Structure 1
């Protein structure tokens, strides 16, 4: 018998590695627990690069209490993630005992796909598609990426519902018409929706530029280093985040009084700093090179706060958002020129930015996802 108050959530939950993804996972799980459901998290992150046995513990994910199962790990992470699906036979039994009404799968990865194929209970399977196999450069030949792609083709047929990080992924996957679908590039949490939004460009002394996100080459770390060294006159840059390039960015920022590097900050401070910016940047490496298989969560948060967003080309989530973001080629000289003209650009797009903010508030809120779950799953 399926218990309507229980949910299995299968995800690589690792705030240390993917803070933005972890925040989204936390918000969705909190939605379930607030509605009175018990959540079993099967954490597939394989964060420990050492031999470790399978663990079952009571844990907290954000503010939500869950039962967490962590599969065994090995010193060789790629190997461990490739063979972890053997563990699915154990988790299948666990989920059956758990009598879940919903199995929520964060991405179509190898483990999640085998879990879907092995699961024999009557739960509704939901795929949350945040990126596609081969969308991210993991370096070299990656057996797991191949297993991800192959297994997903079979596993997705068992799902009853999907969420997609952008509309282009939805179109490419050609999901059957009878499956429930929801575009979900971000999920606004309570902390950002409680912010008293400030109108940008109220300080005539300088243009306040902000970047808040991953500090890796793929996400624009190299572009940020170049910008630090060539900040336009009359502009101030604030950077927050973590990643493989954090030390380089920190050291570069120390040499420039018009640049602040805040490191990793709590959410209250994060949204306050975003809100006090005039221009917010997304210098991500062109996502076309990733087959448009991802979407930076922060872009919608930037727009919700009604700031001018300057970004490299983005996949479509909807036409309004596409028309609102100011797109640049990735060239740093072009970026500097746009920053200097940012007030005029903002004034020309102010109504669009307001409409985009309202659209994001309505469509990518906790209540919108809650309605989707209640009505469609």
Structure 2
């Protein structure tokens, strides 16, 4: 049995600010379900504004059926997160009713996740898979919750059997803490994305006369969506933008889309539609706010998907990552509208110059960050050498977004 502990929002997927994290959790939940027929999700998301008791229910993620334990929710979220820490022993007993955990998989070192992982590894001898996707102090270093999360990670988290790190900085921090080897995992690549992009190469619509640019992500200034909005307003017919996502700037994009033929705003879409839209683009932009100012503690999930698509990727600075071929394929610009606009104007030439590096990076991301490759690496570290990805090619489908819940009981 694998116990997966994460803040997972499927019911509110369309309004979720951290959609990349949701999609990544779905990807790895599906992988966990392929590794064992018995998966229990302990859902630590606190999405309610009213009192809700702890629930045990069945959850469908894609076509995978798993059990889910949702923690108690309280009217005041910050208070609720602290009160959830008092549930660790009760949740551990709840988990034990479904079997003996062989592995515990935690998504980030949040305090509850750390404390429950510590209890389950101690009581059942379960191995620990630690997915380190977000440095705790990256955004709110003086807030009490990330400080408590940091202390829990530093002093309570057992050494993991497997650690997946989003970039070199968090990898180095975990290796220094636990001494355990760390696998780079800045993102994941689904078979559906590869298939959607295989049918069209970029810059092969000369009759349109416009470069097709894609921005797919959170519509927040922190994500750089304000710069994209300004680029759209300055397009003057030279570019066609496809924009997907949600956030406080969604209404502004919808209004510009209504008035201008330079942008098509799609709002929130499912993964199949997202991958089709990526395939329509020549250029994909990532203009995240300064990651260095966030302690280099994050890595934009979409960048790996962008590179795997084979499109020209224009990005602001990214933190160091051991997959150097991926970084080599990206064209970097300053976080200013003028710099991004100049790069878009020169996009066909930039693509031609970088094409070999782009194709090499496509192969690297697909070989190392596909469902097959990651599953093989994780199972090898957990249980010893496993069959190669090629020998298990028929078992590589990534999860599709869908969640239906039923069979509730309260605790």
| Contact preservation (8 Å) 1:161, 1:180 | yes
The verdict on how the C-alpha distance between 1:180 and 1:372 changes in structure 2, with shifts beyond 3 A counting, is farther
SS in 1 for 2:172: helix
Matched, 1:185 2:186: yes
- Residue 123 of structure 1, aligned match among 98, 121, 126: 126
Deviation at 1:202, TM superposition (A): 1.0
TM-score by length of 2: 0.86
**Contact 2:3–2:101 (8 Å) recurs in 1:** yes
In structure 2, do the counterparts of structure 1 residues 102 and 166 end up closer, same or farther at CA, with 3 Å as the change threshold?
same
Instruction: Please state whether the residue corresponding to 1:48 is helix, strand or coil.
Output: coil
Q: Distance in 2 between matches of 1:27 and 1:63?
A: 12
Name the structure, 1 or 2, with higher relative contact order (CA <8 Å, separation 6+): 2
SS of residue matched to 1:215: coil
Question: What do residues 90-128 of structure 1 show as CA deviations (whole Å, max 9, x unaligned)?
Answer: 112223343110000000111111112333221001110
CA apart distance, 1:232: 5.2
Could you say which residue in structure 2 is the equivalent of 1:334? 339
| Corresponding position of 1:78 | 78
CA distance in 1, matches of 2:3, 2:309: 33
* SS class of match (2:272): helix
TM-score (norm 1): 0.94
Counterpart CA distance in 2 for 1:321 and 1:196 is: 17
- Deviations 1:262-315, CA, capped at 9 Å, x for gaps: 111121111111011000000110111111111111111111110000011001
Q: Greater CA deviation, 102-111 or 19-28?
A: 19-28
| Cα contact 1:107–1:131 (8 A) shared by 2 | yes
For residue 141 of structure 1, report the CA deviation from its aligned partner: 4.8
Aligned residues: 370
Determine the structure 2 residue equivalent to 1:135. 138
Give unpaired runs (5+ residues) of structure 1.
1-5
Query: 1:335 & 1:114 partners in 2: Cα distance?
Result: 44
Give the match for residue 203 of structure 2. 201
Q: In 2, Cα distance between the equivalents of 1:142 and 1:75?
A: 19
Which residue of structure 2 aligns with residue 303 of structure 1? 307
Alignment match, 2:55: 55
Conserved in 1, the CA contact under 8 Å of 2:197 and 2:276? no
Alpha carbons 2:59, 2:67 under 8 Å: kept: yes
SS at match of 2:130: strand
1:263 aligns to what?
Answer: 267
Distance in 2 separating the partners of 1:375 and 1:113:
23
Query: Match for 2:2 among 3, 7, 11?
Result: 7
The CA deviation string for residues 40-75 of structure 1, in whole angstroms up to 9 with x for no partner, is 000001111211100000111233211100011111
Contact 2:236 2:262 in 1 (8 A): no
What does 1:167-316 align with in structure 2 at a 5 Å threshold? 167-175=168-176, 179-197=180-198, 198-204=200-206, 205-231=209-235, 233-316=237-320
Aligned to 1:64: 64
State the partner residue of 1:28: 28
Decide whether the 8 Å contact of 1:309 with 1:326 is kept in 2. yes
**CA distance in structure 2 between the partners assigned to 1:114 and 1:214 by the alignment:** 31
Q: Secondary structure at the match of 1:284?
A: coil
Distance 1:136 1:29 in 2: 26
Determine the structure 2 residue equivalent to 1:3. Answer: none
Aligned counterparts of 2:294 and 2:204: Cα–Cα separation in 1: 37
Deviation at 1:175, TM superposition (A): 4.1
Change (3 A) 1:241 1:327: same
Superposition deviation, residue 248 in structure 1: 2.1
CA contact (8 A) 1:311 1:328 kept: yes
Deviation digits for residues 67-87 of structure 1, max 9, x if unmatched?
100011111111111221111
Alpha-carbon offset, residue 193 of structure 1: 2.9
Map of 2:45 onto structure 1:
45
1:7, 1:100 within 8 Å by CA — same for their partners in 2?
yes
Q: Is the 8 A contact 2:58 2:65 kept in 1?
A: yes
What is the CA–CA distance in structure 2 between the aligned matches of 1:373 and 1:173, rounded to whole Å? 17
Distance 1:151 1:36, change over 3 A: closer
Between 96-105 and 124-133, the greater mean CA deviation after superposition: 96-105
